[in-house]
Amino acid sequence: MASTPRTDGARALDAATVSAALDAALQTVQRNITLHGDAYPDDTTRGDRYQIRPAIPGFPVGANRGWTTSFWVGQQWLAWELTGDEQYRAAAQRHAVDFAQRVRAEHDLDTHDLGFLYSLGSLTAARLAESEAERADARDAGLDAAEHLMRRFLEPAGIIQAWGDLSDPQQSGRTIIDSLMNMPLLTWAHEQTGDERFADAVRRHTAQLREHILRPDNSTFHTFYWDTVTGEPLRGATEQGAFDDSCWARGQAWGVYGFAINYRATGDERLLESAWRCAEYFLSHLPADGVPYWDLVYTDENPAPRDSSAAAIAACGFLELARVDPDAERAARAHALAETLVADLIAGYTPAQPGDADGLLLHSVYDLPKDNGVDEGTLWGDYFYLEALTRLVRPEWVTYW
């Protein structure tokens, strides 16, 4: 059963609270740069401390691999935009060079998360780097990444395969709700090149998710399979949620934000309605303190670890809806909902003092069924929390998505 729905604007958020939260977050970003240098921290903290990404076959310690490294770079770009302090841009730019190398060397690219990786790792630098040469190099890397992502577009299903080698039968024909956030790389590539393949892939992939991954009750499947030969939709399933038919909290938050940004990209009003449908389900399944359990099947009567990163992503989604929804009343409601989520996060899910933890945001879950990153900080939770704060203090902030 759903928990008591949160009322809009349940917790007030004032400018001084946001400013103090931002100061604390920036102190932690600075501290993490000092701690890690140009190496990449791991996906999540362990005991609230980030370790450098461990070595695995083919990749040395601290290497740029996996799907989360760009969230660390994104934090550095946000910090530069917020402060103008060149140490942040210099750090982010060194990573942009590394992201260009990664795509050119074809290191660990068998994933739809090229969108997460290159929106923050390269497209930021293509716009914000200091020199024309740096911007041009990042743009080229972004276009290479978009071409790689297009290799995962499956005909006749009209979807982008999420994970694995395209010949892997376990992963064949499967996409996931998170993929909505990978579309901006293709939207950008269309804007840069005028090549309609990119825009067509965005339109078709998002239409398939709207029709099949979003359920009639407004919850979402985490993942969904299509028949790669006939293109027929097959079945939903989970990977990181509690049950195939439950609703993984972070997936629902990806739905809020992802449908909203793809509405902006395509102008398709059905995507705007899909974002709101995801939002209403998310809101009506929040516990009393406003931060979801890691799967929305859990309630205050039947609790489980929280996923604060889902709240941070949803807050950014609401702030996007506040910008793009043409209905002024709904836009205002979206803004109030975002403020409430951020206020709840600041009040209960941030370190008491910068330095108490390496994460900007505490108490997230990466993958509970695999006992990976449970009740820890995460690179993406930190990034979206900082993005939400940035959006609140800089309404004119130009989105990275």
Q: What are the residues binding ligand GLY (CB under 6 A)?
A: 178, 240, 250
Q: Which run of H or E residues covers position 372?
A: strand 372-376
Select from 23, 20, 17 the least CA-distant residue to 83.
23
Helix axes 269-283, 249-266, angle to 10 degrees: 160
Among residues 18 and 73, whose Cβ is nearest to ligand GLY?
73
Q: How far is the CB of 244 from ligand GLY (least distance, A)?
A: 17
- Contact present, 350 and 389 (Cβ < 8 Å): no
At 19 the three-state DSSP class reads helix
**What minimum distance in Å lies between the beta carbon of 14 and ligand GLY?**
31
Q: Give how far Cα 275 sits from Cα of 90, 256, 317, Å.
A: 36, 4, 8
Q: Which of 178, 295, 358, 375 is catalytic?
A: 178
Return the number of the residue (250 or 391) whose C-beta is nearest ligand GLY: 250
CB of 264 to ligand GLY, least distance (A): 20
Would you say 258 or 351 has its CB closer to ligand GLY?
Answer: 258
The per-residue DSSP string of 142-200 comes to HHHHHHHHHTTEETTTTEE--BS-TT-TTTTTEEEGGGGGGHHHHHHHHHHH--HHHHH
Does 110 qualify as catalytic in the annotation?
Answer: no
Q: How far is the CB of 164 from ligand GLY (least distance, A)?
A: 14
- Which residue lies nearer to ligand GLY by CB, 44 or 93? 44
Residue 52 DSSP one-character state: B
Cβ–Cβ < 8 Å for 319, 338: yes
Query: Residue 345 in contact with residue 308, Cβ under 8 Å?
Result: yes
Minimum Å gap between C-beta 171 and ligand GLY is 14
Q: Which is nearer to ligand GLY, 178 or 358 (CB)?
A: 178
* Annotated active-site residue in 42, 43, 108, 113: 113
Query: What count of Cα atoms within 13 Å lies in the side-chain half-sphere of residue 307?
Result: 32
Q: Whole-number minimum distance, CB 380 to ligand GLY, in Å?
A: 7
Residue number closest to ligand GLY, CB atom: 178
CA dihedral 34, 134, 115, 24 (to 10 degrees): 30
To the query of whether residue 178 is one of the catalytic residues in this protein, the response is yes
Nearest-angstrom CA–CA distance, 2 and 32 = 38
Of residues 144 and 178, the one with the C-beta less far from ligand GLY: 178
Active site residues: 113, 178
